């Protein structure tokens, strides 16, 4: 079973991520389905209970706005390192839509990104298959303090220092 980083620890990944073009019967266990599959089968998936949704980089989080209470996890796909839309989607889910569940980065996820991904609300990371989650975990400790406000620290440094 593959490993992932969740809440700054390495754990076994018990979820199966289904392909964007998936059709048919779901496999047993916990599954992460593409947004289109979720939209087409929502009622049955909510009843099943162990289903999460993944958004591709061209699918806005507003698509899930009415379903957030039904989801324990949302995964956001990074199709390539240079595609940063997932950062904005994560921050919207956390700050505008108040999503409290697991927010997982999937796809082309590398150590260099983890610190910044955690700042915008990601708490779980499926590191690219050719990389080590143990080594990538160090990316969450790249900096000891931050200047700007974000999901992980809503108060900017200049205000924290003044207090």
Tell whether the model's pLDDT for residue 163 goes beyond 80.
no
d(CA 20, CA 3): 22
Higher-pLDDT residue of 154 and 117 is: 117
* Block residue for tokens 């889910």: 93
Q: What pTM was computed for the model?
A: 0.93
Question: How many Cα atoms occupy the beta-carbon half-sphere of 69 within 13 Å?
Answer: 1
Tell whether the model's pLDDT for residue 1 goes beyond 80.
no
Tell whether the model's pLDDT for residue 71 goes beyond 80.
yes
Locate the domains of the chain by residue range.
3-162
Architecture of domain 3-162: Alpha-Beta Barrel (3.20)
Instruction: Please report the pLDDT score of residue 144 as a whole number.
Output: 84
Closest CA to 17 of 109, 118, 140, 142: 109
Tell whether the model's pLDDT for residue 151 goes beyond 80.
yes
Tell whether the model's pLDDT for residue 74 goes beyond 90.
yes
Q: What is the pLDDT of residues 94-118, one digit of tens each?
A: 999 999 999 999 999 999 999 999 9
Percent of the chain with pLDDT over 70: 100
| Strand blocks (E) in the chain | 3-6, 9-12, 15-17, 30-34, 51-55, 73-78, 102-107, 124-125
Tell whether the model's pLDDT for residue 137 goes beyond 90.
yes
Please state, rounded to an integer, the average pLDDT across all residues of the chain: 94
CB of 125 closer than 8 Å to CB of 136: yes
């Amino acid at each position: 079973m593959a490993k992932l980083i969740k809440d700054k620890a390495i754990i076994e990944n018990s979820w199966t991520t289904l392909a964007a073009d998936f059709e048919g019967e779901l496999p047993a266990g916990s599954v992460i389905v593409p947004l289109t599959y979720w939209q087409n089968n929502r009622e049955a998936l909510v009843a099943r209970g162990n289903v999460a949704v993944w958004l591709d980089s061209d699918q806005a989080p507003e698509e899930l706005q009415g379903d957030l209470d039904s989801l324990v996890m949302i995964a956001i796909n990074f199709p390539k390192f240079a595609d940063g839309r997932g950062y904005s989607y994560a921050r919207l889910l956390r700050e505008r839509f108040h999503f409290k569940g697991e927010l997982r980065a999937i796809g082309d996820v590398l150590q260099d990104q983890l610190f910044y991904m955690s700042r915008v609300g990601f708490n779980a990371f499926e590191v690219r298959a050719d990389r080590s989650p143990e080594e990538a975990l160090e990316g969450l400790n790249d900096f000891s303090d931050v200047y700007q406000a974000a999901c992980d620290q809503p108060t900017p440094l200049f205000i924290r220092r003044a207090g």
